[in-house]
Amino acid sequence: MSHAEHIRIGCMPSPSVPAETLVQDGWLTFLLFFAVSEEIGSSGYLDDLGVAVVECIDCQSAKMGYPNDEGFPEHPLYSAGISEGMGVYRLSSSAWLADVESQMKRSRDRIWGSRGMEVSAETKSSLFHFIVPLKEATFEWFARDIQVRGYHRGFDEAFSYVRSRFHEH
């Protein structure tokens, strides 16, 4: 049975401003969104932080789409603890992750085993299943970790940072 843990990354997606964007290639994955503080600020409201660039470190698989915020109660993992609202969640177990890890193991065994090489014993997965409910979509992915790489004044500045990271790679 899956259990979702709400994790703090320093910000959360704005509950009222849609514009979430996924930028991904075969090596790097970034989620960009209008960010707000995780706590009520001195104004009595959540503080606007700008456009957050969140890197999904060692992302192995990702999907973004339905449900949006209105449809989120129908998400199959809603009862696992992601019903707490906006933010980032890490699941303790996941059928989707277990399925992908099984595929990865079978590929490893087939490729390396067919070459007569000894395949290492099972080790605990270093991947986690993360979920971020957004205003107009839900983003889910498997990665080793996540990190906010910065806040930017707008999407042009955020995209410029992401482009520079792709050029480095």
Residue 119 structural domain: 4-168
> Rounded to whole angstroms, how far apart are CA atoms 13 and 36?
6
Closest C-alpha among 83, 80, 86 to residue 129: 80
For the entire predicted model, the pTM comes to: 0.88
E-only strand ranges, the chain? 4-7, 12-13, 21-24, 29-40, 46-57, 61-65, 88-91, 128-133, 138-143, 145-152
Q: Name the pLDDT band for 124 (thresholds 50, 70, 90).
A: low
Residue 115 pLDDT exceeds 80: no
Structural domain total, the chain: 1
Close Cβ partners of 135 (under 8 Å, ≥ 6 residues apart): 13, 14, 15, 16, 17, 18, 20, 68, 69
Q: For the ranges 37-51, 84-98, 132-146, which has the lowest average pLDDT? A: 84-98
- As given in the structure block, the two tokens for residue 38 are 């995780």
Q: Is the dihedral of CA 66, 69, 71, 76 positive or negative?
A: positive
Average pLDDT of the segment spanning 89-114: 85
Residue 83 pLDDT exceeds 90: no
